[in-house]
Chain A
Amino acid sequence: MSSPLLEKIITESGQPVNLCYQCRKCSAGCPMVDEFDFPPNMVMRMIQLGLEGELLRSRAIWMCVSCETCGTRCPNQIRIAPVMDVLRAECLKQGIEPADPTTVALHTSFIESIRQFGRVHEATMLLKYKFKSKKFTDDLDVGLKLFLKGKIPIMPKKSRNLSKIKEIFTKAGF
């Protein structure tokens, strides 16, 4: 069995996706499978069949949280989390609209917080996320309670090594 997508995934993730024989142990233990449009075992099969467009437009690749449960249990030692990472990167590279843009908004806000402060500052990070995802009202009550309990300081604390972090971002072309 071979497809250009299969070869690409094997090279970039280092995972022997070709070995999947559909035992479905991954999907049985996946905590996120209810949110997936294609369960993990089907994602493996779709890669083998080269169904690239369907995969890159799927919700499954964005809902995976890399908990590594499937990878630890797979009888063929395929870790699916790195495979999902390759698929996510490929979706963005090809300019395909992600099926779940809010996950992308969250990741971007997180990285931007590191670039800005050298450390993550939850309040400004989540504010950015709200603007990017336009989910303004979600979790407002929880955020307020956290703030009142002193769990979210308003002022960010910068790392004194911030210049080194900025250097890494610049070098990486971000």
Chain B
Amino acid sequence: MRYSYFPGCTLYTKAKKLDDAGRECSLKLGFELDELPDWTCCGATFPLVNDQHMLMSGPTRILADTKDRGDDKLVALCSVCYNVLKRTNHVMLNDEERRAKITDFIERDYHGEVEVLHYLQVLRDEIGFDALKEKVVKPLEGLKVACYYGCLLLRPVKEIGLDRMENPTIFEDFIRALGAEPVDFPFKIECCGAFQTVNSMATATRCSREILSNAVQNGADLVITTCPLCQFNLDDRQPEILKEDPAFTTIPVFYFTQLLAVALGLDSGNLGFERNFINPLELLQEKGLV
């Protein structure tokens, strides 16, 4: 199976390991991520005001490029890109007036023909978690995982429709397929503070601290995420949390594709765990997984 693939800006820089591991795992699982040539930024923000069309012209071009190369499915790994592309496509499919304005603006013919899929969705709906389970060579037994969804993978539910808003389970089902145990984690859909981490570090630190403490209290060994910005806030803000509260228990936070790569038996030396502030290698070694 072959899909058009949109990595996005951050997966070429800070979140390179989210991308690398995602691509390597796809080959192991028998599907190909064919990167769109010459892609541009998705805009990283979906414009919410009715008359803002400019910000949707970028993602619409990306969707039209997918259609023009003959594909009807586009896969994204980054929660932000997924959110923007999926919602733009929702507008292109359902809102005639805005569609006309945007296609006129960028001089392209596009009517929402492409289906935008998150990588997790490919695993659930196209490969199937049962089939995934069979491909696992190193079941992650004894590993307790807090599955952090954040905001953009899920909301707004009417436009995204990946899972339920208050208690989604796609991530937990994925983790079970890898042989690990998802912990009860009520803060899994709370916001990490997002881009306010740049303007107001204290805010993002507070949000991250609440989320991580909840994961630790529920017995998690690690937190996984799909979003580069959440990963930054939850991992890289831990030194800041420690400054405020020396008794805080640190916890590794990394990308779900990195954990998938461990379960599929890919070379862990290549997974970039040393790039994390809280390095998970010791934990994974302790559990006999790497």
Contacts and interface: CB of A to CB of B under 8 A. Distances in A.
Interface of A: 11-14, 31-32, 34-35, 63, 65-69, 71-72, 79, 81-82, 84-86, 89, 100, 102-103, 106, 110, 114, 118-122, 126, 129, 133, 138-139, 142, 145-146, 149-153, 157, 159-162, 164-165, 168, 171-172, 174
Given A31-B191, A32-B203, A159-B40, A126 B48 contact: no
A63 B193 CA distance: 10
Given A122-B13, A151-B14, A65 B40 contact: no
B190 interface: yes
Interface residues of B, number: 50
Given A68-B155, A168-B58, A139 B201 contact: yes
Interface string B188-215: 0111011110111101001100000000
A64 to B, nearest CB: 9
Interface centre among A79, A100, A120 (most CB of B within 10 A): A120
A138 B204 CA distance: 14
Nearest to A141: B239
Contact of B44 (A32, A110, A142): A110
Interface string B31-70: 0000001111101110111111010011001000000000
A100 B44 CA distance: 21
B156 A149 contact: no
Nearest to B14: A151
Contacts of A100: 199
Nearest to B39: A159
A72 B155 contact: yes
B58 A82 contact: no
A147 B123 CA distance: 33
A84 B47 CA distance: 11
B9 A146 contact: no
B151 A69 contact: yes
Contacts of A145: 236, 277
B26 interface: no
A68 B196 contact: no
Contacts of A35: 196, 200, 203
B157 to A, nearest CB: 6
Contacts of B43: 114
Nearest to A115: B41
Given A13-B49, A67-B151, A69-B151, A34 B206 contact: yes
Contact of A79 (B41, B47, B156): B156
Interface string B1-43: 0000000011011101000000000000000000001111101
13 contacts: A13-B49, A32-B191, A34-B206, A65-B195, A66-B48, A71-B155, A85-B47, A85-B48, A89-B52, A119-B9, A145-B236, A159-B40, A160-B37
A165 B40 CA distance: 8
A152 B13 contact: yes
Contact of B198 (A82, A119, A126, A157): A126
The 4 A-B residue pairs with the shortest CB-CB distance, nearest first, are A82-B48, A68-B155, A67-B191, A85-B48
B49 A82 contact: yes
Contacts of A159: 38-41
Given A69-B191, A120-B10, A168 B49 contact: no
A168 B156 contact: no
B106 interface: yes
Nearest to A72: B165
Contacts of B157: 72
Contacts of B58: 114, 165, 168
A41 to B, nearest CB: 18
A151 B49 contact: no
Contacts of B9: 119-121
Given A65-B193, A86-B49, A121-B13, A150 B275 contact: yes
A159 B157 CA distance: 32
A172 B54 contact: yes
Contacts of A69: 151, 155, 189-191
Nearest to A84: B48
Nearest to A130: B198
A12 B50 CA distance: 5
Contact of B193 (A31, A72, A102, A110): A31
